[in-house]
Amino acid sequence: MKIAVVGATGLVGGEILEVLEERNLQFDELYLVASARSAGTKKIFKGKEYTIITLEDAVLLKPDFAIFSAGGSTSLEWAPKFAEVGTTVVDNSSAWRMSPDHKLIVPEINADQLTADDKIIANPNCSTIQMVVALAPLRERFGIKRIVVSTYQSVTGSGKAAVDQMMNERNGLVGEMCYPHRIDMNALPHIDVFQENGYTKEEMKMINETKKIFSDDTIAITTTTVRIPTMGGHSEAINVEFKEDFELAEVRQILGNTEGIILQDDPSKNLYPMPLTAHKKDEVFVGRLRRDEGQPNTLNMWVVADNLRKGAATNAVQIVEYLQKQMRSV
């Protein structure tokens, strides 16, 4: 089994390597792939030194799997080239997510859609992943009519340049600006570019991807995405209207018994999800569960996950794990 990590020198690429090591994914060969300017540099994985190679070289090596975290334009150009030589690509960019010809996968929800013919598989947006993981078991039980979500997203979602901007500002240094405004001691209701309808691209990603993952265009969804000066994970305030009424005790039981979700919901002990405690964790954390007293059948919840982990690297590696199991069972 040969695996390539494309974008291995970036924030998500580094996280993918950590997840591969922690989950002890089995492979015979590992190829670390990045841009031409990084080619030839060295990176350590599991105590072994690897040389960074180019995309051109990686295609010729015909890996079985390639996990891409190198941006949309790179994915659009190179994912088909890998697919042509038989590689299964799991792509972290937005390039293929809404393509009708490609699957958008969160393993806990819809991995059973995958077949051997799927050579380019899309990893959803980080904010979408944690929301649908938290909502999926409740949707199975009560059905979902409408979702109102506001996100509070870590600067790590914008990459190293954003982290550098925040830390420079925090330390009184002048440096390059990733955002149009100061981010430290601030909040920006502006993630990705604004669309003609007044929403940002990030907000529309959450709306459209959720419907695709759940295979349900009837769900009404509205979003506001906000960048805040934190690291470690994205947080979401979710107001969800179910088709049926619920009891909070059953909601807690469902969430507490769902693999991949950790319930942290004890306000009397100040226990609730936070980016600080979700950092470097693979699970989705859920808390602040309470009924919306102004509307029937409606629940408020607070959902936090490490955006570089379950929001990107972990989800991608879980897709590869699922496909490996399918291959072994054939």
Whether the per-residue pLDDT at 329 is higher than 90: the answer is no
Residue pLDDT, tens place only, 49-89: 999 999 999 999 999 999 999 999 999 999 999 999 999 99
The DSSP annotation for 176-195 comes to --SSSS--TT--BS--SPBP
User: Residue 116 — pLDDT band, cuts 50, 70, 90?
Assistant: confident
User: Residue 330 — pLDDT band, cuts 50, 70, 90?
Assistant: low
Secondary structure of residue 235 in the 3-state scheme: strand
User: What is the average per-residue pLDDT within 218-230?
Assistant: 98
Secondary structure of residue 237 in the 3-state scheme: strand
User: What is the average per-residue pLDDT within 107-131?
Assistant: 96
The reply to whether 77 and 98 lie within a common domain is: yes
With 0-12 CB in 10 A as exposed, 13-18 as middle and 19+ as buried, what is 28? Answer: exposed
Task: List, in sequence order, every beta strand (DSSP E) within the chain.
Answer: 2-6, 29-33, 42-45, 48-51, 65-68, 88-91, 120-122, 144-153, 220-227, 234-242, 261-263, 284-291, 298-305
With 0-12 CB in 10 A as exposed, 13-18 as middle and 19+ as buried, what is 196? Answer: exposed
User: What is the average per-residue pLDDT within 242-251?
Assistant: 98
The reply to whether 292 and 279 lie within a common domain is: yes
CATH no. for residue 302?
3.30.360.10
pLDDT of 155 reads 97
- Our count of domains for the chain comes to 2
The residues carrying an active-site annotation are 126, 234
Whether the per-residue pLDDT at 166 is higher than 70: the answer is yes
pLDDT of 174 reads 95
pLDDT of 50 reads 96
The reply to whether 254 and 167 lie within a common domain is: yes
**What is the reported pTM?**
0.96
Domain that holds residue 112: 2-124+312-329
pLDDT of 120 reads 98
The reply to whether 105 and 118 lie within a common domain is: yes
User: What is the average per-residue pLDDT within 12-27?
Assistant: 94
